[in-house]
Structure 1
């Protein structure tokens, strides 16, 4: 069963991407997954995942970034942090006043029984839950691709991030993520 987001978000997919059921593509804890259609069949399909959780107590962006790296190490193998940068709203202008951190990772993983070097760019941000004042929420948006595919999909990821917005509450539910 796919994960859910404590704060609903509206997403817009760049051209060439399609959403996929998280549990059917090996990301059962993700609330949203998108696959790069034109890269399918190349041994690894670049993907964008969105996950989120409510935080207990206060949230430190650096601690959250380290926890994410640790989860990857436990589930996939060796992970190197290439770069980590705190960012403001200029990275995702739709997420007003949301502090965030971007980290670029190199991951040594086994995919379909083949060793593979993957790149992952993560955008981790903290939001206040509008429905529960004072409650902090962590949202993690990640692009994962083979090193050789990264240049082809990185601009799409930046476009995806720039269009990410908190969903306006409605009586019928919220956006797709």
Structure 2
């Protein structure tokens, strides 16, 4: 069963991307997954969404480092090529880009992962903080062709207030 997000969000998938069941694709802890329509040499670019409540004092940079450590457990090499803060004090975010080599589907691949962390703060209680993580994983060869889709996807992400437009 797919994980659930700590806060509801809404978003639009880029044209051609299709939702996929995370549990059937070996993605534990993922609440949502979408696949690109054209694989590259057997690897399908994907967007995943997960998140959790983080009442601790960890910064978004700390959480990004935690993610790098987890990726290093399964990848042959991992390099953080960029990391930058985004958003505002009321709606902080962080983006990082990783390059890595990993074996997927029995084949060693050079992959790129773009990770974006969005913090949702409870104005009435600063210790109630939810963090949503949005990740694009693709081959190095695919990156130029899918990063624009990921940026479009990110621009569409918003809290789901339940209000009808």
- Normalising by structure 2, what TM-score? 0.91
Q: Kindly provide the CA deviation profile for residues 96-142 of structure 1, in whole angstroms up to 9, marking residues without a partner as x.
A: 94211110100110011111110000001211258x84311111100
Q: How many Å apart are 1:169 and its aligned residue?
A: 3.6
Partner of 1:52: 51
Greater strand percent: which structure? Answer: 2
5+ long unaligned stretches in structure 1:
90-95, 171-177
What residue in structure 2 maps to residue 66 of structure 1?
A: 65
| Residues in 1 aligned to 2:93 and 2:143: alpha-carbon distance in whole angstroms | 22
Q: Is the 8 A contact 1:36 1:47 kept in 2?
A: yes
Q: Does 1:140 align with 2:139?
A: no
Any conservation in 2 of the 1:125–1:139 contact (CA below 8 Å)? Answer: yes
**Paired position in structure 2 for 1:112:** 105
After TM superposition, where is structure 1 displaced by more than 3 Å over at least 4 residues in a row?
Answer: none
Aligned-partner SS, 2:150: helix
> Please, which runs of 5 or more residues in structure 2 have no aligned partner?
none
Question: In 1, distance between residues paired with 2:40 and 2:144?
Answer: 18
Match of 1:160 among 150, 153, 157: 153
**Whole-Å Cα distance in 2 between the matches of residues 41 and 149 of structure 1?**
7
- Counterpart of 2:33 in structure 1 is 33
What's the offset of the Cα at 1:71? 0.9
| Number of residue equivalences | 162
Q: Is the 8 A contact 1:58 1:136 kept in 2?
A: no
1:75 counterpart = 2:92: no
**Mapped contact 2:6–2:130 kept (Cα < 8 A):** yes
CA distance in 2, matches of 1:16, 1:98: 30
Q: CA RMSD of the aligned region, Å?
A: 1.9
Report deviation, 1:41.
6.5
Alpha-carbon distance in 2 for matches of 1:80, 1:26: 24
Aligned twin of 1:7: 7
